[in-house]
Amino acid sequence: MTRLRLVLGDQLTRDVASLRGYAAGDVVVMAEVVGEATYVKHHKQKIVFVLSAMRHFADELRADGIAVDYIRLDDPDNSGSIAGELQRAVARHRPVELIVTAPGEWRLLADFKALDLRIPIDIREDERFFATTARFAAWAEGRKVLRMEFFYREMRRETNLLMEGDVPAGGQWNYDHDNRKRLPKSQALPPHFGYAPDRITQDVIALVQDRFADHFGDLDGFEWAVTRKDALRSLDDFLIHALPNFGKYQDAMASGEPFVFHAVISPYLNAGLLTACEVCIAAEREYIERRAPLNAVEGFIRQILGWREYVRGVYWLKMPDYAETNALNATRPLPWLYWSGETDMHCMAEAIGQTRRTAYSHHIQRLMVTGNFALLAGIAPKEIAEWYLVVYADAFEWVELPNVQGMSQFADGGLLASKPYASSGAYIDRMSDFCDSCAYDVKLKSGPKACPFNFLYWAFLIRNAATLRNSQRMAMPYRTLAGWDEGRKAAITAEAEAFLDGLATE
């Protein structure tokens, strides 16, 4: 009696729900399909990472005696879709049941529910997270706004991470005020550990270069871990070399330094090579053993136990309508510079250039550089959301979409964030050295040499005054605007519009 057990490319964990209870005669199905690589044109490195990790995982399963039916992208009979490959697998194996772990994206879950394979389909809860979707929905019920901080505190209590009895370690729930330091020029940075492509990865690189040559991103220098063993090594490297300084410098940016003190393990978490629980426990151990300070460990754990769990909960609570939100009525098309990286704005060129080279940038670059620019420019949320989904190795819709719609673009009208994360060039200057070598002057507010973030910021506030001016957290800039006459407002608006109209969109 055969049961088919589907494992997707972001479910590469041995105890994933679809593998629970595996018995002799069962068959694990894994499929590389062009549809998953092209529903948006994912970064070449992301495709290589996922396909190579899938091939390595399948080999590990086979080595343990598990039967795997693996369909490669270049199989001439490949249907090109998960649904098509499941239909072919049912025809080959004639199973009595299909077992799947709930996928991380709404569109795939809808596909699974619509499948007619003439056999039962057991869609199991994805148990790799601290909170089930039902647990989050219970927390969110009756709340008009969903603030991560309150959810995070509940998760701390439930998991007992960084708790001392009923109170948080150190007496505070978070240490944000200690974690906003600019990187000193004399600060040594930890080594970054990459992995030379093995034979399997080299084969995948050649395949991706052949099949997806027109996708964004470089393949030269691919160095992502593609096995659990190497992902664990990356975690260890972070804990030893970077975690002690992660907290205070987690918001810092520096030219030519894409990683700073960040863990760079999010692709491994999101694909299943690492689990959130083991990562948080490992980080907590560094605090317990006094190898890393509390502000660093708490800040890191909050990103996983707090923010990562929270945005997943919001995604499943609010989809599919959440993807359509556009509270600020932003409609501009995405400028071409997001693809080319060709701009005199040094911060944007840095963030986009490293994204092209590595399929990675850390959270402040995403939020306060590329995201901030899109917010100030009024770029349509759907366009910037698709860009984020395309360009990052860790981008899966459940984690990417709420970060863009709610945190970065304020498209949900304040469901996640209490105010838009909008800033002039002053923030970027305070947290980086980008402005030191920029063609624009961050201290100038207007004129051809002025930092575009400066006039775009005030034009954004003017444009969205009806929506934002009554927000308590926006009171200070709107008090400033109240002192401007209409001529000054019109001039700054015209300058911003002329700048944006001059940006190529293709």
Give residue-wise pLDDT tens across range 243-254: 999 999 999 999
Cα separation, 158 vs 150, in Å, equals 13
8 A C-beta contact, residue 4 and residue 89: yes
Which residue type, as a one-letter code, is found at position 76? P
Read off the tokens for 21: 């209870």
Read off the tokens for 184: 């000193």
8 A C-beta contact, residue 9 and residue 50: yes
- The third-level CATH classification (topology) of the domain covering 337-501 is DNA Cyclobutane Dipyrimidine Photolyase, subunit A; domain 3 (1.10.579)
Torsion angles phi and psi, residue 257, rounded to 5: -125, 85
8 A C-beta contact, residue 505 and residue 334: yes
Q: Positive or negative, the Cα torsion across 16, 21, 23, 25? A: negative
8 A C-beta contact, residue 269 and residue 12: no
pLDDT of residue 215: 98
Cα separation, 37 vs 109, in Å, equals 17
> What CATH architecture does domain 133-317 belong to?
Alpha Horseshoe (1.25)
The helix or strand, by DSSP H or E, that contains position 99, with its residue range, turns out to be strand 97-101
Mean pLDDT of 329-338: 97
Torsion angles phi and psi, residue 124, rounded to 5: -100, 150
8 A C-beta contact, residue 151 and residue 143: no
Closest CA to 210 of 44, 387, 430: 44
Torsion angles phi and psi, residue 70, rounded to 5: -110, 125
pLDDT of residue 470: 87
DSSP three-state, residue 496: helix
The owner of tokens 């529910």 is 113
Residue scoring higher pLDDT (381 or 145): 381
Mean pLDDT of 96-113: 95
The helix or strand, by DSSP H or E, that contains position 163, with its residue range, turns out to be strand 163-164
Read off the tokens for 27: 């068959």
pLDDT of residue 390: 98
Cα separation, 272 vs 265, in Å, equals 11
- In the chain, CATH 1.25.40.80 sits at 133-317
Mean pLDDT of 114-122: 93
8 A C-beta contact, residue 69 and residue 290: no
pLDDT of residue 472: 86
Pairing label, strands 167-168, 163-164: antiparallel
Predicted TM-score (pTM) of this structure: 0.96
pLDDT of residue 25: 94
- In the chain, CATH 1.10.579.10 sits at 337-501
Mean pLDDT of the chain: 96
8 A C-beta contact, residue 14 and residue 231: no
Nearest-5° angle of CA 124, CA 127, CA 130? 145
The helix or strand, by DSSP H or E, that contains position 257, with its residue range, turns out to be none
pLDDT of residue 456: 98
Mean pLDDT of 368-378: 98
- In the chain, CATH 3.40.50.620 sits at 3-124
Read off the tokens for 425: 């060039």
pLDDT of residue 411: 97
The owner of tokens 């008009």 is 144
**Please, which pLDDT band fits residue 60 given cuts at 50, 70 and 90?**
very high
Mean pLDDT of 419-439: 95
Q: Give percent above pLDDT 70 in the chain.
A: 100
**Rounded to an integer, what is the distance from CA 188 to the centroid of its chain?**
27
User: From the CB of residue 58, how many other CB atoms can be counted at a distance below 10 Å?
Assistant: 18
**Can you identify the CATH homologous superfamily of domain 3-124?**
HUPs (3.40.50.620)
Cα separation, 174 vs 177, in Å, equals 8
Read off the tokens for 356: 């092209």
Residue scoring higher pLDDT (286 or 193): 286
Mean pLDDT of 148-174: 95
Cα separation, 305 vs 195, in Å, equals 28
186 CB-near residues (< 8 Å, 6+ apart): none
Mean pLDDT of 180-202: 93
Torsion angles phi and psi, residue 174, rounded to 5: -145, 160
Dihedral (Cα; 348, 49, 306, 263), 10-degree rounding: -70
8 A C-beta contact, residue 183 and residue 249: yes
